[in-house]
Amino acid sequence: MRPIARTVFVAAAAFPLALASPGFAAAAEPTDVSYAYAVSGSNVTNTITNNSGSVLQCATSLAPAPEGVLPPVEEVLRDGQTLYAAGEVQPGGATQTVSDVPDGTYVVLATCSSDDTDPAMWVSDYPGIEETLQLFPATAFTVEEASRVVTIPGGAPTPPEPAVPDLVALLFSGSAE
């Protein structure tokens, strides 16, 4: 990642984390969160299991995966994601659904974060994500359910309209689809 892009990315991520409200101070574990992706027609679902004991802010997003190949993580993070579902996930878990996805191939990326006094993040494993996670002022874990390419019937993806702010800003904006 280029130094300027890294600085912008870290600044965008650090600001919401600094504003996070204090919660309980339980230590986060890598296995506290898990993801399970499924495709049904033009919908992509992510069943999130939340064993952290606290409410998490989670997002499931899609980014184009041209020719069914995982793009470099820097491209996915830099370009943002325009297809997503986001919101609170209570202890126990929930399902997020990205609906009406245009035909094509996409990579699924899921992220959850806590608002505890000792913030933690759980990100679906992705080649090269570890370097990016080291830039966050929070404990960060990769989740065993890796980001993967999903195919929505019908061929090449329709290019999405202008990108929304990066996934981290989306997580902390409080907006949900």
Give domain limits for the chain.
3-173
User: Would you call 120 helix, strand, or coil by DSSP?
Assistant: strand
Distance CA 42, CA 36 (A): 17
pTM (two decimals): 0.73
Side-chain half-sphere exposure of 62, counting CA atoms within 13 A: 34
Residue 117 tokens read as: 């006094």
Encode pLDDT of 143-177 as tens digits.
988 899 999 986 554 445 444 445 555 454 444 44
Q: What is the Cα–Cα distance from 26 to 38, expressed in whole angstroms?
A: 31
Q: What is the pLDDT of residues 6-48, one digit of tens each?
A: 333 333 343 333 334 344 446 899 999 999 999 999 999 999 9
Q: Select the highest-mean-pLDDT range: 44-58, 75-89, 110-124, 147-161.
A: 44-58
Tokens of 106: 């996409």
Residue type at 133? L
**Three-state SS sequence of 12-52:** HHHHHHHHCCCCCCCCCCHHHEEEEEEEECCEEEEEEEECC
Element (H, E) at 159: none
Q: CA-CA-CA-CA torsion for 87, 35, 92, 60, nearest 10 degrees?
A: 10
Report pLDDT for 61.
96
> Cα separation of 32 and 172, whole Å?
20
Residue 93 has pLDDT above 60, yes or no: yes
